[in-house]
Structure 1
Amino acid sequence: MLVLDTNDLRVGDRTAAFEAVAAGEGGISRVQEEETEDGVRKRLELWRLGPLTLFHTQGTGVRISRSLRQARRDAMDTVAINIHRRGVGGFVWADHQRRIGPNSASMQHMPGGYEYWWSGVGSTLAMMFDTERLGLPEGTIRASIPTLEHSPVGQLLIHHVLGVHRIADQIDMRPEADAIASATVELVRAWVVSVAGDDPTRRAVARETLLTRVLAYARAHLREPDLTPERIAWAHNTSVRTLYRLCDDGGVSLEKWIIRRRLEGARADLAAPGHAHRTIEAIARSWGFTNPPFFSRRFRRTYGTTPSQWRRLSQQGRLLPPRDGL
């Protein structure tokens, strides 16, 4: 949902407008805009996904901060996850300073204050939620912040958040948003404890979040034909038998889950004007389907129409509701 587009405002009012929104929605105490010949430009979108708030901010260079003084003055106890999308920037938390580039993730614990910036034209995705939802000691959370960039779980989290952003308009304020928010928080938990050292908290959270990490890994590699249970088990340092037991306990059929997500991706591409020049077989192959008859059968069983019929109907603007079966 669009909250602010400074192109609709007079040049002299743009900074104050962005400061007001940033303070009200993000708990930011100071905004310092970068000087440009064309003036300040900002576009801010916001979605409420259950207990999680997702922001997308883009525009000219800016330095935003939350001071320790403000952190002590209010009762805002949240964590913020930033996925830096465009431009060169950086962030400061306590004594830790880090330069960041596109598709890098960082975390701030709001009671500790922070500073975040980019120069030139840039953009960022940010999530905020209450710290208590992580279910982790405050010391563990704070100690992890300087070393999170070294965690392989960070790439899973980035891919997940980008996927949530792509469907944010469809799930904003809807019941399924709670489940997606829970999965997101679980990935953040896994991210934090992955750099926490070999202690009981890390081992416990690793067990609790394994299914979430497995599904995030599978989603990140959906387009690869060799995404097999053996590969997924190896990537998570477990056996195939344990992997299947984990999925069964979580009520997930791994093969069906992967096929359904791939079908969803292929279905969207078949309906997209930007993919109209591609053959159905090429689109299916790009989503991991190497057997065209298998793809057609599964597509028809799931959506009640063939891939070619779906493409033709979507081009004519007569989209059919999907069926639930696989």
Structure 2
Amino acid sequence: MVVVLDTELLPESDRADAVITAMGESFVASYVPPEDPSAFTRARMEVWAFGSTSIFRSGMSGQQLVRTAKRTRSHPSSTLSLAVQQIGESAFDQQGQQRILETGSLLVHDDNSPYEYTWSGFGACTCLFVSLHDLGLPVDLIRDASTRVRASPIHDLVVDHILGMTRNADALSDDPAAAVGLANVSVELARALLTSAAGDTRHRRDALAATLLTQIRAYVRKHLTDPDLTPGKIAAAHHISVRHLYKVCADANFSLHEWITALRMEGAREELAGRESRHRSIAMIAQRWGFSNPTHFSRRFRDVYGITPRDWRRMAGRREGIDGDTSSV
């Protein structure tokens, strides 16, 4: 991680100028007049690199970003921005259209077209930058789709992906294999988002196919504790056959059953160690994570972790200052 700016480290008299400079450099030479130069300016900006992509996270007092036609000509951008509004509400004007962005909204905007981006009070957003060259999509398609991303079936998946990249960003960006993998996934998700929002049949078919496994993984993670999480249900949720589901997984050298079992085992392991779950029996926790037979669960748990669920819970309890095992199988 690189901390671009943290105004807490600067004298108050220098903060407004520091924000203008940092935002101008970070947002493709956009001009940023403070909402009130005489007021206290609060800002923190962080950047992580993930292969050919990057994440920019900022939280700051009310500002206005103005990218003029002159600046788009003198400082053309090679990236597309996908930003999630995390705190506050903002307004975005581009090509004569205004969009009001509430908390949780996704904004996709073309940095090679003039825009104004404003918010009042304290606000925060996380922005993913992807290479226009890597996307390989026509400019007209990108500009058309950017105003309709909410209509894409993977809108929420893209939001979760962008926010998820920052949860363990330092470790992920420092791992070359993880960083490159996340960059590839980010580009494919951005392409699928845009082509599906634009309704472009040819690009949409290719892009959605390329991100299908990512969508399947995200769906499974979200429904891990559902007792009826079956291949049939997973396939139906993605409008494919069970046979095609298994083919997609096989093509990626990916065992769906083993992966789900491993995720559920890890979920049960974390819950067993949790202070808030110490009054739940091991059998209850096992069943919640899809293991209906407590004996079978205990055997598999020991095979995977080299310790029984009861001993793991007791050891975790000692670390948390909890005396003994407060529940039984």
Common fold, TM-score beyond 0.5?
Answer: yes
Structure 1 equivalent of residue 24 of structure 2 = 23
Per mean C-alpha deviation after superposition, the further-off stretch among 192-201 and 259-268 is 259-268
The within-5 A match list for 1:126-275 is 126-175=127-176, 176-264=178-266, 275=274
Structure 1 equivalent of residue 8 of structure 2 = 7
Contact 1:160 1:216 in 2 (8 A): no
- SS at 1:112 equivalent: coil
Contact 2:235 2:241 in 1 (8 A): yes
Contact 1:58 1:122 in 2 (8 A): yes
Q: Deviations over 1:8-37 (max 9, x none)?
A: 211121122122222223314111333399
TM-score (norm 2): 0.84
Deviation at 1:226, TM superposition (A): 3.4
Tell me the distance in 1 between the aligned counterparts of 2:287 and 2:111.
41
| Cα distance, 1:240–1:100 mapped onto 2, change above 3 Å | same
Q: Count matched residues.
A: 314
Tell me the distance in 1 between the aligned counterparts of 2:249 and 2:80.
29
Tell me the distance in 2 between the aligned counterparts of 1:37 and 1:266.
53
Structure 2 equivalent of residue 276 of structure 1 = 275
- The residue type paired with residue 11 of structure 1 is E
* Higher Rg: 2
Tell me the distance in 2 between the aligned counterparts of 1:38 and 1:263.
52
Deviation at 1:309, TM superposition (A): 5.1
Q: Deviations over 1:245-286 (max 9, x none)?
A: 111111111222233344455556666xxx523237699579
TM-score (norm 1): 0.84
Contact 1:79 1:129 in 2 (8 A): yes
Gaps of 5+ in 2: 321-329
Q: Deviations over 1:149-196 (max 9, x none)?
A: 222311011112222111112112321111012112111111111122
Contact 1:156 1:220 in 2 (8 A): no
| Cα distance, 1:295–1:89 mapped onto 2, change above 3 Å | farther
Contact 2:268 2:286 in 1 (8 A): no
- The residue type paired with residue 249 of structure 1 is D
Structure 2 equivalent of residue 103 of structure 1 = 104
| Cα distance, 1:297–1:244 mapped onto 2, change above 3 Å | same
Gaps of 5+ in 1: 318-326
- The residue type paired with residue 277 of structure 1 is E
- The residue type paired with residue 146 of structure 1 is T
Tell me the distance in 1 between the aligned counterparts of 2:45 and 2:318.
32
Contact 2:28 2:75 in 1 (8 A): no
- The residue type paired with residue 251 of structure 1 is N
Tell me the distance in 1 between the aligned counterparts of 2:287 and 2:129.
34
| Cα distance, 1:121–1:196 mapped onto 2, change above 3 Å | same
- SS at 2:189 equivalent: helix
- The residue type paired with residue 164 of structure 1 is M
- SS at 1:126 equivalent: strand
